[in-house]
Structure 1
Amino acid sequence: MVFRKSTKKRIIRSLCFLSFVIVIGILLYYLYLAILIDTRFSGRKWSIPSKVYSDSTLLFPGQQVNRSLLINKLHRLEYRNVARVPESSGEMRIQESSMELYLHDLEMPAKQHRGFPVKIAFRSQEIESIIRRDNGKTLPLLELEPEKIMLFFGPERQQRQLVSIDRVPQNLIQAVLAAEDSRFFEHHGFDFRSILRAIYINIRHGTIRQGGSTLTQQLAKNYFLTPERTLVRKIKELLMALTMEVRYKKQEIFEIYLNEIYLGQKGSVSINGVGEAAFFYFGKPVENLSLAEAATIACLIKSPGLYSPYVSETKCREQRNKVLRDMEKLGYITQQQRDGAVSEPLKTVGFTAYGKKAPYFVDYVSKQLPALYSPNVLSSQGLSIYTTVDMQVQEAAENALERGLARLEKTYPSLRRSNPGRKLQSAIIVMQPKTGYILAMVGGRDYSTTQFNRATQARRQPGSAIKPFVYLTGLDQFTPATILSNEQKTYEVNGKPWKPHGKSSYSGAGIRMRDALAQSDNLATVDLAMKVGLGRIVDTVKAFQFSTP
């Protein structure tokens, strides 16, 4: 009897000790999760790629413009054609002698203004007038926003526009709740009722038709865990969801969820968050979404690859309408609102997958940026980097280079090469004389074939471009009126005789220094170079920070 009692006591003590250890373990794991979640949520929650922009574009009455290049630019700026008068940001209507735009908001370091409607009238290829349609005022100058020419992505290659919960329209909040977790504001991270309902529906249909995860569980999985389907991962997801619910308000969790969710693919870049999705699918800020558009974005959460309107309009419309029916059942909208949204056509803005614009110029910029910012900063902190490139000039330069090389190959068939790597090459740099700004840079015929930038990396003889530096050096000893020899002579260079070939462009026996420069006379320039010394000319060139052998 005594033995049984002592055994019973030992068992009870062991169970108590085991329970104590389990409770302590759970508390410690809770603290670990709390620290992990707090650290992530209190720091930088997402990596936002930095953006490189072109210069803005100025339009004014009397300006000569290439209308086709201007229209191409507007398309790159994501303006979309409409058949009516433009009523919202990013819309345009092209007519025979005019162009109507509703401008995007302009946001640059030194200037910001809201978009407004304008009408640009043309006389042939000249801008005749620019008029604000909202107040009838004639504008002396119109500035179009810069183009986005590059994004510095991190390894995730995610793009998002962060939005606060205050900016998200009620229709979108309710659509997401109806589509994913209608009891989100009632449960505490784990909804037993939803799990039972999902099990019942899946058994009845004999396939997985519905999941039981709450929004908080989805956030825990997407934000902290891997997508693997294991019991251990599911337990971690549940514990993380409960920890988040204890430590954060529902509104905070919901805001992070709306900015985190994956909603589609743009080439190799994933579209994350409702802010980015609103622009990707409908070309507008999230606060301007209609009921039908909000339901469309909400319906994508289950499977963007299946329900994306860019993949299947039919499946997307069916899923959108299901979300609208669920919203009506939950009392979020009336039947009349639902019917109106169901009848609304599914209209998206379309997209072009990311590709490098002005690739040689972008490479040139990219090699300079690491001196200012680390790769981690560029790929995570969402910097806006503005450059001087003018994309209309860039497009014109690229076309001119291709046409010029094609013309040479047609005129001289011996220059043609079947091997892409051995084709005739060229380079173009267009600069603004007063500022030195680079307006366009083309470093070769085809960037996909060779990334070697012949404008910045190739070593070439400067030709007559060196002559101003020769004459600049010569002014230290001589005057513009000094007579130079324009006769053929033999000079000694590095201990060896050297005789320049060619004839003088001037018929006289000598030529003044200023005339020799104006006429780019080779023999007179050689005479001056020998008089002042080649070493001194090299020193002058180095003072301008040119590279020399």
Structure 2
Amino acid sequence: MSRMRKLTHSLFWCFLAGLALGAMTLSSFYLYLRPGLPDVEQILDIQLQTPLRIYSSDNRLIAEFGEKRREPVTIDQIPELQLQAFLAAEDARFYEHSGVDIKGLVRAAWELVSTGSIRSGGSTITMQVAKNYFLTRDRTFIRKFNEILLALQMEQELSKSTIIELYFNKIYLGNRAYGLQAAAEVYYGQPVRELTLAQMAMLAGLPKAPSAYNPLANPERALIRRNWILQRMHDLEYIGQAAHELASDAPVTARYHGAESALEADYLAEMTRTWMVERFGDQAYTDGYEVSLTIDSTRQSTANQALRNGLKAYDRRHGYRGPVAQASESDMASGDFQSILAPHESYAGLYPAVVTGVSDAAARVYADTIGPATMAFDTMTWARPFRSRNRLGPTPESPADVVSVGDVVYVEGIPMASPLSRGAAPSETPGPTSVGLSQVPEVQGALVSLDPHTGGIESLTGGFSFSQSKYNRATQARRQPGSNFKPFLYLAALEHGKTPATLINDAPIVFDDIDLETTWRPQNASGEFYGPTRLRKALYRSRNLVSIRLLRELGIDNTFEYLGQLGIDTSQMSRDLSLALGSGTLTPMEIARGFAVIANGGYNVSPYFVQTVRNSDGDVVYEAPAVVTCDDNCEQLTEGRPTPAVGFPAIQPAPRVADERSVYILHSMMKDVVRLGTGRRARALGRDDIAGKTGTTNQQRDAWFSGFNHNLAASAWVGFDQPQPMGRGEYGATAALPVWADYMEVALAGTEPANMPRPNGLVTVKIDAETGKRARPDSKNTLFEIFRTENAPEPVDIDATASNDGSNDSSSDGQMPQQLF
């Protein structure tokens, strides 16, 4: 008995010594690690990595940039069933323990011993928050001990609601989705409050292993995990038997939903991304900035479609280039059409398709994202074989003249409501639909429109498809504007004393100019010469020889100085007379800005596209300054005005750079370009406030149309990236003007006419159409013209015996004598 008592006594002291040693060890670890642990309060100040989001002026999502997709939510926004699903899967005793769940650790150990795997895990939600916010993922004892210490500390300083909210906003759930709301959008395309019970349980199964239990990568394993969670929810009495059975029988409905933009403006999105990184560094991708642009969603969508329609129309005028690939007989026999189409991308509503059959009336195709479809012959009649830019083959008479079985072609069609993914089986598609033969254009283009009073970009597209080419032709392509440049030259002439009635001889001219390195014999597009021509008529008829002589009279130096005054970049312009024909190079953006200066009456505005930038708290950290036009003393606009807290100027002066009277006269001359001249196709808009100018370079390498009313300016360009002739007849009025007109028809729909107000200091005088001088009473061919007061033609002596009641007045320009501009 004595020996037993001694043994018990010894064991007791050994036990106490072990406890003491353990306590000392734990205390030592605590004292060693505690100084290096972060303050729990820091967790409330940690900036969650939230992507950069870009919106239109009417709040349509354009793009999202950032490695992590995240949409923070509050605990009040999370349905109770969703919360219970996560508790069942991760930490059923969350509201009972104090950060570390001993029972949970024991249960995890038992599961490991009995099943060989841990389903529910030993870490509490609090421990996971500590790890996710503060610690590394190293699987070490020290890290685990830190995790426990932090969890205990967090439970003392933070509420349960705060901890679970932090958890839901930080946890990684696969496919770039960080946080619960982002995961709901990624897997189901809807907010978490709209998920079904089965979908909630599926998301709750992801934290343990986002890759292994991912319903996209491994739907069978994800289904097992989901149903286990549903059973746990039933066992914990979170749900009843009926709800459990219904959810357990539900199919896997997860599909990948990318950051779905509501507006396609990829070229502007890339411009904005670059702008943000230049100003905010790499934090632009992670700090949750939201950028609001100046663009209007309706005008942007219209610009996209107008340019694409114009490029496809050009492409069809020049014939069918044949299939982009040919599938082998063995590939066709396998029926694996998706593998055949895999190397070919879809672009802007054009989808690769393989021809599976040809009949007398149609072809059968299998199209990417569309599935089986019928391609009727009437969609192929345009497909004359391409021979060269100026020559086509015969018109096809049947589908067999155009396509063959195994041809990989591009088609136009409407994707199904549930697009067929490349991994889906053909049997999942519904019955055949109708598509039309198309092809991806080789020609490219750009369209830019601006608010002429501020310079704000209303719309911009830099090519047929951003996914096809990231090259932004609107801002990067320096091309010769051709006659699109002439309005700037004519404005310079008006500023230097010329008038719309000034006569310039349209006659042959030959230059032996050392700067041009050869003899230069410029011609009009028609190849004809028309003698003395008034400047108004020379502009709307786009007479090249008149422009050259006009530039010679003005002088190269004077003209360059005036172009610089207008803000036009002359760095890529030769200082010779070819300048009159637009031989220098400018981007579509620069051309559009120049036309905006004309449209607004002569004020120097600069294009911009970022209106506001807000941080993750909703505070404005950048706001574009208000553009204010001014005729003089522009510096006084900003004097005495406080700079906003965000550190950017509140006012951006737009000084006058052209005489408003000269600009008004130029407006009237450019309206005649639309009414009587090379821009006549724009009359289809049915508006009397439209002015513009066509432009075509040698051998039709570049085609332009730029035009405006007083409230909107736009410029369209069409050409090849590597300059080459576009073919006979492809002038600005043919290739570019339809793009501009399609855009402006929608952009101006429902708006009131916007004409530049007539300034003081102008007079309207009846002139002789042949001489440009003030009309005599006996003149037969007369019209009214506008002049600056100081440039009006001198009165003529009136013969007291002569009389003219005006009944013989006429106009060689086709305008009514009474019409004033």
Higher relative contact order by CA 8 Å / sep ≥ 6: 1 or 2? 1
The superposition leaves residues 308-339 of structure 1 with CA deviations (integer Å, 9 ceiling, x where unpaired) of 33234433333222212111211222223322
Give the direction of change, closer, same or farther, for the CA distance of 1:452–1:251 in structure 2 (3 Å limit). Answer: same
Does 2:282 correspond to 1:264? no
- Corresponding residue of 2:292: 385
- Corresponding residue of 1:50: 52
Whichever residue aligns with residue 299 of structure 1, its letter is G
CA distance in 2 between counterparts of 1:320 and 1:20 reads 44
Whichever residue aligns with residue 570 of structure 2, its letter is T
Instruction: Give the CA deviation at 1:236.
Output: 2.1
Does 2:504 correspond to 1:501? no
- Corresponding residue of 2:227: 321
CA distance in 2 between counterparts of 1:438 and 1:427 reads 17
Aligned residue for 2:474, secondary structure, equals: coil
| Contact 1:431/1:439 (<8 A) preserved | yes
Does 2:426 correspond to 1:426? no
79, 102, 109: which one aligns with 1:169: 79
- Corresponding residue of 2:480: 461
Aligned residue for 1:429, secondary structure, equals: strand
Does 2:467 correspond to 1:478? no
The superposition leaves residues 20-40 of structure 1 with CA deviations (integer Å, 9 ceiling, x where unpaired) of 9985873574354242x322x
CA distance in 2 between counterparts of 1:494 and 1:532 reads 20
- Corresponding residue of 2:272: 365
- Corresponding residue of 1:77: none
- Corresponding residue of 1:150: 63
- Corresponding residue of 1:33: 37
CA distance in 2 between counterparts of 1:519 and 1:400 reads 24
Give the direction of change, closer, same or farther, for the CA distance of 1:20–1:202 in structure 2 (3 Å limit). Answer: closer
Whichever residue aligns with residue 502 of structure 1, its letter is Q
Whichever residue aligns with residue 362 of structure 1, its letter is A
| Contact 2:448/2:474 (<8 A) preserved | no
CA distance in 1 between counterparts of 2:241 and 2:524 reads 91
CA distance in 2 between counterparts of 1:326 and 1:20 reads 39
Does 2:108 correspond to 1:198? yes
Matches within 5 A, 1:125-140: none
Instruction: Give the CA deviation at 1:176.
Output: 0.7
Q: Name the one with the larger helix percent.
A: 1
Aligned-pair identity (%): 32
The superposition leaves residues 203-252 of structure 1 with CA deviations (integer Å, 9 ceiling, x where unpaired) of 11234444211111112222222223222222222222222222212111
CA distance in 2 between counterparts of 1:503 and 1:325 reads 84
Instruction: Give the CA deviation at 1:489.
Output: 2.7
Give the direction of change, closer, same or farther, for the CA distance of 1:299–1:44 in structure 2 (3 Å limit). Answer: same
235, 247, 253: which one aligns with 2:145: 235
**TM-score, normalised by the number of residues in structure 1:** 0.69
Instruction: Give the CA deviation at 1:291.
Output: 2.6
- Corresponding residue of 1:284: 190
CA distance in 2 between counterparts of 1:495 and 1:215 reads 78
CA distance in 1 between counterparts of 2:79 and 2:89 reads 16
- Corresponding residue of 2:569: 547
CA distance in 2 between counterparts of 1:206 and 1:374 reads 48
CA distance in 1 between counterparts of 2:24 and 2:253 reads 60
| Contact 1:360/1:453 (<8 A) preserved | yes
Matches within 5 A, 1:39-188: 39=42, 41-54=43-56, 56=58, 108=59, 146=60, 148-153=61-66, 157-188=67-98
Whichever residue aligns with residue 360 of structure 1, its letter is Y
CA distance in 1 between counterparts of 2:447 and 2:102 reads 66
- Corresponding residue of 1:535: 557
| Contact 1:189/1:214 (<8 A) preserved | yes
The superposition leaves residues 483-510 of structure 1 with CA deviations (integer Å, 9 ceiling, x where unpaired) of 0111123458678896442148675420
The superposition leaves residues 326-361 of structure 1 with CA deviations (integer Å, 9 ceiling, x where unpaired) of 112112222233223323444346424789954433
Instruction: Give the CA deviation at 1:150.
Output: 2.2
Larger Rg: 1 or 2?
Answer: 2
- Corresponding residue of 1:513: 535
| Contact 2:205/2:229 (<8 A) preserved | yes
- Corresponding residue of 2:459: 439
Name which of structure 1's ranges 505-514 and 429-438 shifts more when overlaid on structure 2: 429-438
Instruction: Give the CA deviation at 1:177.
Output: 0.5
| Contact 2:510/2:522 (<8 A) preserved | no
Give the direction of change, closer, same or farther, for the CA distance of 1:433–1:406 in structure 2 (3 Å limit). Answer: farther
Whichever residue aligns with residue 295 of structure 1, its letter is A
**TM-score, normalised by the number of residues in structure 2:** 0.47
| Contact 2:277/2:284 (<8 A) preserved | no
- Cα-Cα RMSD: 3.5
CA distance in 1 between counterparts of 2:26 and 2:470 reads 61
Aligned residue for 2:461, secondary structure, equals: strand
Does 2:463 correspond to 1:452? no
CA distance in 1 between counterparts of 2:82 and 2:197 reads 7
CA distance in 2 between counterparts of 1:369 and 1:45 reads 18
- Corresponding residue of 2:203: 297
CA distance in 2 between counterparts of 1:526 and 1:330 reads 89
Instruction: Give the CA deviation at 1:166.
Output: 1.2
| Contact 2:215/2:222 (<8 A) preserved | yes
Whichever residue aligns with residue 318 of structure 1, its letter is I
Give the direction of change, closer, same or farther, for the CA distance of 1:44–1:394 in structure 2 (3 Å limit). Answer: farther
The superposition leaves residues 78-127 of structure 1 with CA deviations (integer Å, 9 ceiling, x where unpaired) of xxxxxxxxxxxxxxxxxxxxxxxxxxxxxx3xxxxxxxxxxxxxxxxxxx
CA distance in 1 between counterparts of 2:251 and 2:305 reads 36
Whichever residue aligns with residue 195 of structure 1, its letter is L
- Corresponding residue of 1:418: none
Give the direction of change, closer, same or farther, for the CA distance of 1:55–1:23 in structure 2 (3 Å limit). Answer: same
| Contact 2:483/2:542 (<8 A) preserved | yes
CA distance in 2 between counterparts of 1:303 and 1:319 reads 10
Whichever residue aligns with residue 218 of structure 1, its letter is Q
CA distance in 2 between counterparts of 1:152 and 1:539 reads 43
Give the direction of change, closer, same or farther, for the CA distance of 1:282–1:52 in structure 2 (3 Å limit). Answer: same
Instruction: Give the CA deviation at 1:180.
Output: 0.4
Gaps in structure 2 of 5+ consecutive residues: 1-19, 322-384, 390-440, 572-821
CA distance in 2 between counterparts of 1:381 and 1:174 reads 29
CA distance in 2 between counterparts of 1:429 and 1:451 reads 15
- Corresponding residue of 2:575: none
- Corresponding residue of 2:668: none
Instruction: Give the CA deviation at 1:373.
Output: 4.3
Gaps in structure 1 of 5+ consecutive residues: 1-15, 57-107, 109-145, 416-422
Aligned residue for 1:475, secondary structure, equals: helix
| Contact 1:189/1:216 (<8 A) preserved | yes
Aligned residue for 1:306, secondary structure, equals: coil
Give the direction of change, closer, same or farther, for the CA distance of 1:210–1:164 in structure 2 (3 Å limit). Answer: closer
